[in-house]
Amino acid sequence: MPRLVPEPYRIKVVEPFRLTTRAEREAILTAAGYNIFFVKSEEVYIDLLTDSGTSAMSDAQWAGMMVGDEAYACCRNYYNLKGTISDIFGFRYFVPTHQGRAAEKVLFAAMLKPGDYVPSNTHFDTTHANIEAVGGHAVDLPIAETLVPTSRHPFKGNMDVERLRRFIADVGAQRIPLAMLTITNNSSGGQPVSLANVRAVKEVLAQYGIPLFIDACRYAENAYFIKQREAGYADKTTLEIAREMFSYADGCTMSAKKDGLVNIGGFLAMNDERLYQRASQLLVLWEGFITYGGLAGRDLEAMARGLWEALDEKYLQHRIGQVHYLAERLLEQDVPIVEPPGGHAVYLDARRFLPHIPQAQLPGQALVAHLYLEGGIRAVEIGSVMFAHKDKTTGEWKYPELELVRLAIPRRVYTQTHLDYVADVIIELYRKREQVRGMRYTYEPPFLRHFTARFEFV
């Protein structure tokens, strides 16, 4: 058996790219203020910034784009997508949106009042921000293992059901109009959520009449982990598992830029007719008519086809295999990463990678800068730059527990040779890690710092 199951597809179209020289990269990164978000895509060799909207579409999806029906209302692609969503997810109603956060915006505007709470295993940052934007409180209730980088819990994305029970008792069910589960749990390292956990969460919520919504953007990868790891599911198809997952939910938000295998697209689905009516009103206001929701007919078609392709078990075996292959190559050389690796990304543990750099000197950001300088690799810091904040009463800096650097693998884009190159660059950097210096801000914006901050080496 090869270490990595070969791609269950072959390459029909190629997009050339080139590796810059070290001297070029030094000039580029200095000009970008050491913020990788300001580096031009063509100056990046292997782009692992995100797995969102970066997938390669299949020939069937491209063919689908040619049968896009661009009528303003009731185009045929809407009905194809409706059929797909009903078959896979099982919800009665849905509205298309241009991406995941638009679905979140509509959902929370339709369901929340100021002061309400929305518990989750871990909200993604756009979800968190959309809840707070309408005056709600986003609350994360992950299991304890989620915060331990070396814990090999098979379902580290789970919600802590006891904490949920206590939370509802504390704030009162009337202030919780819905709860959520993010599958897989992106903010905890792309870790899966078990079906037992979905079922248990639903049981608690049902006692109080609180609806459950799933953030479904990596639903197929989550289904594959359940098939691999959860007792009783080895012989079920990923489709059967996905159907069971969603059968416990009252609706979902979806960024199809992940497991929809499209470059743009999303939707909001639900069973409640009254909610569908409210969401439709808001959709018309913000996104477009209810049969296109901010997308072209061709985008709806590519999404309808991609949602099926993402459930293909040969594809998932290769896809998750790629992430695990990269993780294993790093672990063999003792490079510290979050274990076990998740479905869409490998996360370097910057505190253990660079133990000589205190969090105040941004070890994650220093690691991101060096991955680019050494090999033209673009990763993203998920640590102090993103999350450190000043305590409101003491004025002291509070640093996050985890200081991570995410290497997100785009779907169907890179080959094993690319991954070997990434592993080689990281291993080489790890060998000379004492030479890496910390960083400080030269410009520190007041919020969403990571997108626009500028840095220099200490």
**Looking at beta carbons only, is 186 or 197 nearer to ligand P61?**
186
Q: Which of residues 174-213 bind ligand P61 (CB under 6 A)?
A: 182, 186
Binding mask 298-327 for ligand P61 (x = CB under 6 A): ------------------------------
**Looking at beta carbons only, is 149 or 189 nearer to ligand P61?**
189
Give the ranges where 89-209 is alpha helix by DSSP (H). Answer: 100-111, 125-133, 161-171, 195-208
Cα(284)–Cα(73) distance, integer angstroms: 12
Binding mask 38-77 for ligand P61 (x = CB under 6 A): ------------x-x-------------------------
Residue 297 within binding range of ligand P61, rule CB under 6 A: no
Contact yes or no for 130/101 (Cβ under 8 A): yes
Residue 219 within binding range of ligand P61, rule CB under 6 A: no
Residue 384 within binding range of ligand P61, rule CB under 6 A: no
Contact yes or no for 385/365 (Cβ under 8 A): yes
Cα(95)–Cα(287) distance, integer angstroms: 10
Cα(82)–Cα(316) distance, integer angstroms: 24
Buried-exposed string 362-378: b where 16+ CB fall within 10 A, e elsewhere: bbbbbbbbbbbbbbbbb
Contact yes or no for 385/450 (Cβ under 8 A): yes
| Strand 179-182 versus strand 345-349 pairing type | unpaired
**Looking at beta carbons only, is 268 or 429 nearer to ligand P61?**
268
Contact yes or no for 182/218 (Cβ under 8 A): no
Cα(147)–Cα(132) distance, integer angstroms: 23
Segment interacting with ligand P61 (CB under 6 A) among 66-74, 121-129, 137-145, 361-369: 121-129
Q: Report in angstroms how near the CB of residue 235 gets to ligand P61 at its nearest.
A: 29
Instruction: Using CB under 6 A, pick the residue from 69, 125, 272, 420 that binds ligand P61.
Output: 125
Q: Report in angstroms how near the CB of residue 24 gets to ligand P61 at its nearest.
A: 26
Longest dimension (CA), the chain: 62
Expressed in angstroms, the distance from the first to the final Cα of the chain is 47
Q: Report in angstroms how near the CB of residue 71 gets to ligand P61 at its nearest.
A: 25
Q: Report in angstroms how near the CB of residue 1 gets to ligand P61 at its nearest.
A: 31
- Residue 169 structure tokens: 């008792």
Instruction: Using CB under 6 A, pick the residue from 32, 44, 64, 101 that binds ligand P61.
Output: 101
Residue 128 within binding range of ligand P61, rule CB under 6 A: no
Binding mask 250-289 for ligand P61 (x = CB under 6 A): -----x-x--------x-----------------------
Q: Report in angstroms how near the CB of residue 257 gets to ligand P61 at its nearest.
A: 5
Cα(123)–Cα(75) distance, integer angstroms: 34
Site for ligand P61, rule CB under 6 A: 50, 52, 99-101, 124-127, 182, 186, 215, 217, 255, 257, 266
